[in-house]
Amino acid sequence: MGRVAIVTGGTRGIGEAISLALRDRGCTVVANYGGNDEKARIFTEATGIAAIKWDVGDHQACLDGCAAVADQFGPVDIVINNAGITRDGVLAKMSFDDWNEVMRINLGGCFNMAKATFGGMRNRGWGRIVNIGSVNGQAGQYGQVNYAAAKSGIHGFTKALAQEGAKFGVTVNAIAPGYVDTDMVAAVPAPVLEKIVAKIPVGRLGHAYEIARAVAFLCSENASFMTGSTLSVNGGQHMY
C-alpha cells in the first residue's frame, strides 16, 4: 500500500497484530503506546516498527505526536484508534475517575487523533480511519457502564465522521471485536470468562490477528465503498 499508518496502542495485544498486518501489506507503520517503554523497545527491536509514546487522551499530545510522525515519515494516511483501557465496576462502586478516564482515553482518543489527521487526509483526497469499538458497546455489559458508553460512543463517532469524509476519499469505519485473548481479557476473572466463552457460538476466544485482518481489509482499496460501517468480529457472540 505504501501508506503511512499510525496504530494507537500499537505495541501489544490487538494493536500489535494490527501494526504487523499493516506493515506486511506495505504500510510504513508507527505504533503509538501509552505506558510500557521496555515492552515498546522490545517490540521495535523484534519488528522494526517505530514506537512513539504519547497519551491519546491528551489533545495536545496527539497534535504534537501526529505532527512528529508526519515530519519523520510523511503525511499520515491511516489512523487506527485502537488504544483503550478498562476500569470495570458496578455503578455503585465506580468512581467519577473510573468513568472519566475511560471516556478520556477510549472515546476522547478518537477525537484527538482525528483532529490531528483528518484535515490532511481530506485535503489529499485519501484516508482511512478505523476505530476499535467492542461487542460490549453494542450489547452492553454488567459492570462496564463507562466502557460500554465509550465504545458505543465510538460507533456513533464513526458514523458521523464518515459523513464528513465520504466526498473526500476518506473512509471511517469501526470494528466491534468480541472477546480476544489479550492482556485485557486476561484481567477478567476465570469463572466469569468461562461463562462468557460458553456463550460464544464458535466456542473460543478470538485471536488478535483475526481482528487485524479485518482492519487491514478496511484500510485496503477493496473496502473503498465502505464507510460508516461497524464490522462485528466476535465469533457469533452478538449478531448485530
**Where along the sequence are the contacts to ligand NAD (CB under 6 A)?**
8-9, 11-15, 32-35, 55-57, 82-85, 105, 132, 134, 177, 179-180, 182-185
Instruction: Find the shortest distance in angstroms from Cβ 200 to ligand NAD.
Output: 11
Residue (8 or 152) nearer to ligand NAD, CB: 8
Residue (111 or 168) nearer to ligand NAD, CB: 111
Which one of the listed residues 147, 179, 209, 240 is annotated catalytic? Answer: 147
Rounded Cα gap, residues 47 and 42, in angstroms: 9
Residue 147 annotated in active site: yes
Instruction: Find the shortest distance in angstroms from Cβ 87 to ligand NAD.
Output: 11
Q: Which alpha helices (DSSP H) does the chain contain, by range? A: 13-24, 37-47, 59-73, 96-102, 108-124, 135-139, 145-165, 183-186, 190-198, 208-219
Rounded Cα gap, residues 12 and 118, in angstroms: 25
Instruction: Find the shortest distance in angstroms from Cβ 97 to ligand NAD.
Output: 14
Residue (132 or 223) nearer to ligand NAD, CB: 132
Q: Nine-digit cell at 168?
A: 473526500
Rounded Cα gap, residues 49 and 32, in angstroms: 10
Q: Nine-digit cell at 110?
A: 478518537
Active site residues: 147
